């Protein structure tokens, strides 16, 4: 019996030592402590980058004579240094100057607009712009589609839509993440009403400046009134197209008709043709663009 009792006590002692060992401490109460249970923290998903960068680092401009600064410096000539989009002129304070600084304009902005261009020319300009890989492309086109020799020669709204969509597709084929700012077509009827106060301006208009709207500038008969109203309606249709096509692209911002609604006065018009923007007018266009591009939310 004694041998069996001794053997039993030994087994119990061995079992107790094993339990204490598994508990992670010694029988004398040493400093070693048992491992503490840990709570696994959930992995945080990286914050997605915003779709719209309010301060892009490079700009390419496409469009027509307005973006080329036509008639803002000398008669019947381009003056890209005063362009609202990419110009370096201090009086204009262009979108590029506001976003990139004076030194950044020469290095990180490009102007591919062409005087006389229509919407059908925009895809080729987009192709050129894409080669520079800009973070932002500015678009101002459509006035020449309405400014034709006759009403029947104006670009239809359907064709205008197709050509603008083609231009956007051309850009997206090369640069799916580049942002696009789209300016509305100016109010051509208002430009007529302001410019017709200048005898010099009306003489220049006879050289072929937007004849569908400006021809026979002083005529107020029913036919002339209807002609101008038809041109104006087409411009409004163009602006609806620009808005609708742009809204389908998550990285496109339309100006909400801000350019169309701007009440250009004689100070904002070229002193040579009284139709294209002057330096002052170019500065107003730059303000509208900067406000739209840097807004926290798109214009609705």
User: Closest Cα to residue 174, out of 212, 126, 130?
Assistant: 130
The residues, ordered by sequence, that sit 6+ positions from 92 with a Cβ below 8 Å of its Cβ are 82, 83, 84, 279, 282, 283, 286
136-140 and 109-111 as β-strands: parallel, antiparallel, unpaired? unpaired
- What is the β-pairing status of strands 109-111 and 59-63? parallel
pLDDT given at position 201:
86
Q: Model's pTM, two decimal places?
A: 0.83
Residue pLDDT tens, the chain, 300 long: 444 444 444 433 433 333 333 333 333 333 334 444 444 555 555 555 568 999 999 999 999 999 999 999 998 899 999 999 999 999 999 999 999 999 999 999 999 999 999 999 999 999 999 999 999 999 999 999 999 999 999 999 999 999 999 999 999 999 999 999 999 999 999 999 999 999 988 999 999 999 999 999 999 999 999 999 999 999 999 999 999 999 999 999 999 999 999 999 999 999 999 999 999 999 999 999 999 999 999 887
- 274: alpha, beta or left, given left = phi > 0 and alpha = psi -120 to 50? left
> Which helix H or strand E contains 137, and what residues bound it?
strand 136-140
Give the residue from 265, 117, 137, 240 showing the smallest Cα distance to 184: 240
110: which strand partners? 60
Bridge partners of 67, per DSSP, are none
Handedness of CA 192, 181, 148, 221 (dihedral sign): negative
Report the side by side order of strands in the sheet with 59-63.
Answer: 109-111, 59-63, 136-140, 179-182, 252-254
Domain map (residue ranges) of the chain: 59-294
Architecture of domain 59-294: 3-Layer(aba) Sandwich (3.40)
Residue closest to 292 by CA, chosen among 104, 54, 10? 54
């Amino acid at each position: 019996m004694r041998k069996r009792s001794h053997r039993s006590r030994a087994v119990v002692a061995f079992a107790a030592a094993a339990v204490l060992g598994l508990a992670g401490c010694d029988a004398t109460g040493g400093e070693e402590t048992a491992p503490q249970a840990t709570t696994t923290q959930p992995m945080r998903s990286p914050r997605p980058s915003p779709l719209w960068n309010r301060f892009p680092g490079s700009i390419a401009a496409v469009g027509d004579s307005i973006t080329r600064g036509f008639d803002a410096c000398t008669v019947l000539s381009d003056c890209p240094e005063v362009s609202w989009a990419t110009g370096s002129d201090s009086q204009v304070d262009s979108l590029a100057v506001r976003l990139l600084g004076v030194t950044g304009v020469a290095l990180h902005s490009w102007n591919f607009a062409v005087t006389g261009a229509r919407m059908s020319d925009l895809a080729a300009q987009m192709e050129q712009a894409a080669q520079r890989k800009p973070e932002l492309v500015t678009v101002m086109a459509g006035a020449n589609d309405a400014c034709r020799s006759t009403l029947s020669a104006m670009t239809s709204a359907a064709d205008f839509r197709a050509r603008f969509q083609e231009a956007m597709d051309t850009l997206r084929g090369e640069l799916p993440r580049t942002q696009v700012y789209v300016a509305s077509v100016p109010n051509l009827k208002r430009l007529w009403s302001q410019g017709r106060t200048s005898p010099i301006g009306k003489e220049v208009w006879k050289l072929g400046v937007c004849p569908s709207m400006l021809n026979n500038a002083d005529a107020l008969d029913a036919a002339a009134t209807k002609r101008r109203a038809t041109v104006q309606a087409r411009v409004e249709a163009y602006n609806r197209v620009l808005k609708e096509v742009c809204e389908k692209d998550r990285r496109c911002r339309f100006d909400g008709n801000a350019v169309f609604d701007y009440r250009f006065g004689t100070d904002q018009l070229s002193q040579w043709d009284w139709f294209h923007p002057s330096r002052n007018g170019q500065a107003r266009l730059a303000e509208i663009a900067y406000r739209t591009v840097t807004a926290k939310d798109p214009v609705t």
